[in-house]
Amino acid sequence: MTAPMRSDCVVVPVVLGPRSYDIAIGRGVISTLGTRIAALRPGAKAFIVTDQNVAHHAMPAAEAALKRAGVPTGQMVVPPGEASKSYRVFEQVCEAILNAQIERDDLVIALGGGVIGDLAGFAAAVVRRGLDYVQVPTTLLAQVDSSVGGKTAIDSGHGKNLIGAFHQPILVVADTALLDTLPKREFRAGYAELVKYGLLGDTAFFAWLEAHWREIFAESSSGNPAREQAVAVACRAKAAIVARDERETGERAFLNFGHTFGHALEAGCGFSDRLLHGEAIAIGMVLALEFSAREGLLPLSEAERVRRHFAEVGLPTSPSDISGSLPGIDRMMELIGQDKKVKRGMLTFILARAIGSVVIETGVDAHQVRDFLSEKLAER
């Protein structure tokens, strides 16, 4: 399962029987992309899906690595941003893969952030009834969350990630050097997903992030041990959860902590640059903690501790931090009602008992959610 690797590379296995794969993490590990693919799928062609921003700074290294290993490639470059997770762009990607004569023994490479991983992964799930694909995440958010676990999707007018499939990659190559090219705002947005792993199951990791977040954000041409450690911790946590609950029938739902509120806010902003995904999740996690406190599950001081940390980092913590208008409470509740955890019309939330301990709450009273969110929206 494991191809030759750099000596300074951390490998995290995702154990799923015949669908098992490795996450290779390290600075410069993209240089091994070709040899890893050639070892996993000898003789295969690869079709790279990326966006215009990533193509500029990551495509040359990816193509060079594939060429050195003798892997023939095609490519498609799509516009950056959440708007590319649409029916229209999805169709274009599928047609481009077919036009490149990618066969069932070939593979797709998702080179980019969460949008590209979701879009290319979903195309791979359905073209020719299923192609192998490789995730090469280029954002912090994608490296610690969306590239691992096989969730692929595009958005609908009804909400985020509502059209998709579970389709595991055969390899994830997370080059931490690529994060040096990220705008600070995007890096901060990805950091919110790092914090999530501390909140849902690792109190010590959250405390470590409080103490070391500046080191994670620091740029260094010679490496960043704190950043690489944080990425590895998050990947190990997600790999363990996915291995136990691949299709989100139980524990994997914990990974959606903050996402019910967050996805509704994203949709309310039109999936635009007004609110990046990680920013929405930061607000969503604070709201989930505050709602948990209102429900008597944890002290409000715990929610305040998390809010202070996000604010210190520079992340938004409340709907009042979002520029421009938001839909009214009726529309926001409609968006929450489209959440994938809703069962037979009953709201399900991931709520917290403490930092490091979350619980799935089914049958949450929609009136209580409405009252709570109305108050938060009124603070704008």
- 367 counts as catalytic: no
- 263 counts as catalytic: yes
Instruction: Give the C-alpha separation, 80 to 190, whole Å.
Output: 16
Do both 168 and 197 map to the same domain?
A: no
- 309 counts as catalytic: no
Listed residues 133, 164, 181: the one ending a domain: 181
- 184 counts as catalytic: no
CATH of the domain at 79: 3.40.50.1970
How many domains are contained in the chain?
2
Residue 36 structural domain: 10-181
Which residues, in sequence order, are bridge partners of residue 110?
A: 49, 135
Listed residues 126, 160, 181: the one ending a domain: 181
Is 3 part of a structural domain of the chain? no
The catalytic residue among 85, 167, 188, 277 is 277
Residue 4 pLDDT level (bands cut at 50, 70, 90): very low
Do both 353 and 291 map to the same domain?
A: yes
Is 62 part of a structural domain of the chain? yes
Residue 5 pLDDT level (bands cut at 50, 70, 90): very low
> Would the pTM count as exceeding 0.85?
yes
The catalytic residue among 36, 196, 252, 307 is 252
> 230-286: per-residue pLDDT in tens?
999 999 999 999 999 999 889 999 999 999 999 999 999 998 999 999 999 999 999
The catalytic residue among 36, 41, 85, 151 is 151
Listed residues 114, 149, 181: the one ending a domain: 181
Is 149 part of a structural domain of the chain? yes
Is 4 part of a structural domain of the chain? no
Is 310 part of a structural domain of the chain? yes
Mean pLDDT over 211-226 rounds to 87
The catalytic residue among 160, 256, 290, 307 is 256
* Ranges 122-136, 199-213, 220-234, 347-361: which has the least confidence: 220-234
Residue 302 contacts residue 352 (beta carbons within 8 Å): yes
The catalytic residue among 36, 196, 227, 263 is 263
Which residue do the tokens 């799928």 mark? 41
pLDDT score of 372: 97
The catalytic residue among 160, 188, 236, 259 is 259
pLDDT score of 6: 45
Q: List Cα–Cα distances, 94 to 13, 77, 108, 114, in angstroms.
A: 29, 13, 11, 18
- 238 counts as catalytic: yes
Instruction: Give the C-alpha separation, 108 to 46, whole Å.
Output: 5
Do both 211 and 319 map to the same domain?
A: yes
* Ranges 21-35, 82-96, 216-230: which has the least confidence: 216-230
H or E, element range at 244:
helix 225-244
Is 5 part of a structural domain of the chain? no
**DSSP code per residue over 303-357:** HHHHHHHHHHHT---SGGGS-S----HHHHHHHHTT-TT-BTTBEEEEEEEETTE
Do both 72 and 170 map to the same domain?
A: yes
Is 260 part of a structural domain of the chain? yes
Residue 259, classified by CB atoms within 10 Å of its CB into exposed (0-12), middle (13-18) or buried (19+), is buried
